[in-house]
Amino acid sequence: MNIKQRFLLLAMLAVMPFVSEAQTAATFTNPLLANGPDPWVIRQGDTYYYTNTMGNRLVLWKTKDLSQVREAKPVTVWTPPATGPNSYEIWAPELHFLDGKWYLYYTATDKANFGDNTRYVFVLENASADPTTGTWTDRGKVNTKYTGLDGSVFEHKGKRYFVYSAYVGPQSVLAIAPMQNPWTLQAGKEVTIATPTYDWEKGGGRQILEGPEFLPGKKGQLFIVYSASACWDDNYSLGMLTADQNADLLQASSWKKAPQPVFKKSEANSVYGPGHNSFTKSPDGKQDWIVYHAKDAATGKCEQRSSRMQPFTWNTDGTPNFGAPVSTKKPLPRPSGTSK
């Protein structure tokens, strides 16, 4: 090998690692967190705040790049009291910014008598600009009509609504109520808007609709995307309710249920039980992303659920197209506008 050939070879070797690092920096692979059931994300300016079920505390992650949330430092912002109605099984936290303050909604039960009969949604308040700092004030139990879980909040046309999964008889249904303030529902206004009716909503030996999340459509529709069947069922999936933007959202007849799941397992991609989602935008606001949990294997258990994210598109009729849950081996481009 002459001097010129050696020089060219050295130049090629010097460039190859640089190209590989650049390619790696431009993509990511799921999962976001290996232990990430019930993930929730809210974007505030150029910052993302992420949380998921930890079971015994509430934890927030703060990051500029949601695809790299695992590199952020988890901050425990609240631990439950030793006794009382919100002392055990701390599930499904959601962080919302309402009326200039932060609110953390979460599900809990009483350690002394735990179970579905004492499970409710509770809420904390924080006036700090950054929810990973400051003091969280306990605003108590949300005054829902039934016991239940998975409370969420959305606003439409200047009105604020609370949706949750209510325990009614042997099943979990979806209910909605107008809000008087961030921790209080208007009395006597709660309405059930969906019950389990399809076989895919009755997996795992239970009849369950849970994890309702609001999504505005592209052509005047309003969507509530929910999780169906028991969390241990490998066919756990997402269903969808649709209402017109001008409809009375407190009328059950305003909400129409899709007959098939809109996001379900992919055996080809080794993704099972995808569900309990949230929605967010890319840093530049140009892309829509769904954040959800799923399992890598058909275990029949409500365990080893990791959090994941992928972009979604819109159909010509204005409905969301979530596609199939992607393999954890597939590199995805980082959200558009993310600082490299």
Residues assigned a catalytic role: 38, 210
In the block, tokens 């949604």 appear at: 121
Contact of 293 with 227, CB cutoff 8 Å: no
Q: Which among 40, 70, 71, 34 is positioned nearest to 53, based on CA atoms?
A: 40
Cα 73 to Cα 50: distance, rounded to the nearest angstrom: 11
Pair of tokens at residue 246: 């001008």
Cα 223 to Cα 203: distance, rounded to the nearest angstrom: 23
Tell me how far apart the 2 most distant CA atoms of the chain are, in Å. Answer: 88
- DSSP lists the bridge partners of residue 106 as 122
DSSP notation for 238-267: EEEEEEETTS-TTSGGG-EE-SS-SB--BT
> Which of the 8 DSSP states describes residue 205?
G
For residue 59, count other CB atoms closer than 10 A to its CB. 19
Extended strands (E) in 45-100: 47-51, 58-63, 75-78, 88-98
Contact of 90 with 105, CB cutoff 8 Å: no
Pair of tokens at residue 149: 């879980």
